[in-house]
Structure 1
């Protein structure tokens, strides 16, 4: 079966596409039939068998191995969290930072990453913001002017939520390796859409939620911690975090040794329903392949840009192939166009300076053409031209 045939088959798993034009995968993805079936199977077991927890925990370890292969990591480098923000906060509090040390971010990147590190200012940690235009990608040269001998961390999104750039993590990773700096990556917008090889990219810590490109409902996150980063220690500890959890459930004050793997950052019950769903979603994604998904959504972006050029609508963010993936922000008056799209049953997001269109693997060229027609009608009806008004971040 060709890639295009597989994409058509996948689209049939998303019945929402029969009800509206869904172009909001950067906000969240709709539920696929196979993912829903995995959730239903979990709940059926809980309903009929009163919860076979040992079976579920064994499956969770199977999923850990599946996730590790997905990222080219080892299972002992994978921990499960609630979401991206929890993973980033775990990283910020795990890195041994002292007063006078500094961390470098991109100005305007997702605020939940910034806040995780800004919270350390009370400990005397300095947070520096590198400047970057919306149509630029971050490279090693972006960060070089901001780092010195006290720089301990560079952190950024792999793909930005508000302009869609794919940053040069490989180059930034090489800079970090040369300078002994940790690279902490927010992969929320890239995972499942852009290939993420943690080894090839030189990533020290990666955090991602699963409710966008990984097609799983909110409430589950993935944390990758590179093996050997033993200096990174958890701020919270539970029974699952320690190397020798007591079989009798009595804490031993004289035995507080933590696990040597990423599991030291897990400290409670896992989101077992979503882990079952994640297994099904990875199977679905790998049935097409992430490189093919990237090619597909990039081609949809090519088609969208051609329509926007014809319609005279400006794009916020890069136009060059290789610098963009599935996120495209139309520079139009936000509220007027948000109302217009809602009236025409088009699901998009208001974004900083425009309207964000974001593709999933289930979208087709015909979806792009339908969107263009809705935009054309809006221009004809006088909704507005390319002059944008303010928009709140709803990512």
Structure 2
């Protein structure tokens, strides 16, 4: 299925929820809508589904203009953050309902297979009200997958599940999407989830489409500071720098100079250096640059430790894999690799819109 949005705009009263955007989704792959709350993800999905009509612009499906065509006339499956199931039907009947409507055979086997993958097989004879919220959400997911619609829309479907189950289901969903025939649109606020799902990613912020492309490419080569921040969790560490020697090196506020493998082509000496938390280390490596600071906070989240370090120019976060004990208020050295640095122009640094001036060396080859 080929879904194309052409100059779509969505306004509600005097407020603009979606600014003009055009988007041609890749067929039969996953497109992730990545953005913070109120970025416009749900508004865009409702237009894709036919639940809302855009204020301006057109929606095309396989070359047919479906703008304004109601959702009941489209073959779409959608899962919301808040699960929706048929309360009077058992779990098995909920999952089987789209299969029966389609006239499928061997329904019982397909129901059990989906239930097993989504870890709800023990609850097939129960009513949704007898399940936990997370279990009910998995029933809604199973029913949407059973529909096998050409367009499947999932609006943060795992947000209400516990961390461990969410990690496992991401892997299962990726396999299910690859085995299916649907064009999948998956909304999330989590960059890690976008990377795990792969496919393509559209980065949204406050109703604007900032960038769209293969997920790995958008992550490694953000076109602007806004994209880099949206695709970094925790947010990308930033610091103003001065470019020197024709853009071949940069000077940090504490006087440390970083040599760049590829000179930055810009007439403006002022720039913004960005480094993801996961690219920083507490151990020296060949070619790394040391910056000394003080531990402000250390927090453990999932299987990672986030160390907040007070550096000469402010607070930066270092993301370490595993659980680490880091003494508070202790002096510490943070190491960064020039190849892992992003350089943005400072023209619109105040609103974090600066354009990318240089790709990290490890991203040059794609």
Q: Same fold (TM over 0.5)?
A: no
Higher relative contact order (CA 8 A, sep 6+): 1
TM-score range (shorter-chain normalised) is: under 0.3
User: Normalised by the size of structure 1, how large is the TM-score?
Assistant: 0.25
Which structure has the larger Rg? 2
Q: Which has the higher strand share?
A: 2
User: Normalised by the size of structure 2, how large is the TM-score?
Assistant: 0.27
